[in-house]
């Protein structure tokens, strides 16, 4: 009988149907979450390196990664670009107050603009929230002018970011 240094009773939570998860939520064990955290930080690591960090073999890591991609937990592997280096140092959050929800469709046309990073409908006094990144204040003004050209909203309020202390994607809890 061989002693297993990395835990003989590693239960896989995936196979246990103890609690019915929400429809869109995936069943993940601690190793999955640790792997996701590592890949969310740097996806260029080799499976051998990941295996070392996770105390697993390379093929095992590969299989997990494949499953997570297939299940959609990993949506994509993308390059994270530096906005400042792309001549977009000005980050702003724009609240758009609309009178009717019909205006929403008009605002969706803004996703064509590369200045616009996020478009959400939100609760509260404003109906929509935009995260935009422009070259300078003039570019921001042009964008606001374009929004103002659309009929059916009360106005906009812009919050310009002075310093960004943290900016990352969704991370797994562990």
Partner DNA sequence: CTTGAAATCTTATTGGT
Partner DNA sequence: ACCAATAAGATTTCAAG
Residue numbers of the site for its own copies (CB under 8 A)?
21-22, 24-26, 28, 36, 39-44, 71-89, 91, 93, 95, 108, 111, 114, 116-124, 126, 129, 133, 157-173
19 binds, among its own copies, DNA, none (CB under 5 to 8 A by kind): none
Between 6 and 105, name the residue whose CB sits nearer to its own copies: 105
The angle at the Cα of 103, spanning 102 to 104, to the nearest 5 degrees, equals: 90
DSSP string, 21-47: --TTPPP--HHHHHHHHHHHH-TTS-H
Q: In DSSP terms, which residues pair with 132 in a beta bridge?
A: 92, 116
The first and second tokens of residue 75, run together, are 């949506």
57 binds, among DNA, its own copies, none (CB under 5 to 8 A by kind): DNA
150 binds, among DNA, its own copies, none (CB under 5 to 8 A by kind): none
Residues that bind DNA (CB under 7 A): 12, 14-15, 31, 45-49, 51, 55-60, 62-66
User: Is residue 130 within 8 Å of 61, Cβ to Cβ?
Assistant: no
Between 10 and 142, name the residue whose CB sits nearer to DNA: 10
| Beta-carbon count within 10 A of 47 CB | 18
């Amino acid at each position: 009988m061989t002693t297993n240094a990395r835990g003989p009773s590693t239960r896989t939570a995936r196979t246990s149907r103890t609690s019915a998860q929400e429809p869109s939520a995936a069943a993940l064990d601690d190793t999955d979450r640790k792997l996701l955290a590592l890949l969310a930080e740097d996806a260029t690591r080799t499976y051998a390196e990941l295996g070392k960090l996770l105390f697993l073999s390379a093929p095992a890591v590969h299989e997990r990664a494949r499953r997570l991609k297939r299940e959609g937990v990993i949506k994509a592997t993308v390059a994270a670009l530096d906005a400042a280096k792309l001549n977009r140092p000005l980050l702003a959050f724009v609240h758009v107050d609309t009178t009717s929800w019909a205006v929403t469709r008009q605002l969706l046309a803004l996703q064509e603009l590369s200045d616009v990073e996020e478009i959400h409908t939100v609760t509260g006094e404003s109906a929509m929230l935009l995260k935009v990144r422009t070259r300078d204040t003039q570019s921001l003004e042009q964008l606001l002018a374009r929004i103002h050209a659309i009929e059916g909203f009360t106005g906009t309020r812009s919050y310009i970011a002075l310093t960004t202390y943290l900016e990352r994607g969704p991370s797994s809890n562990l």
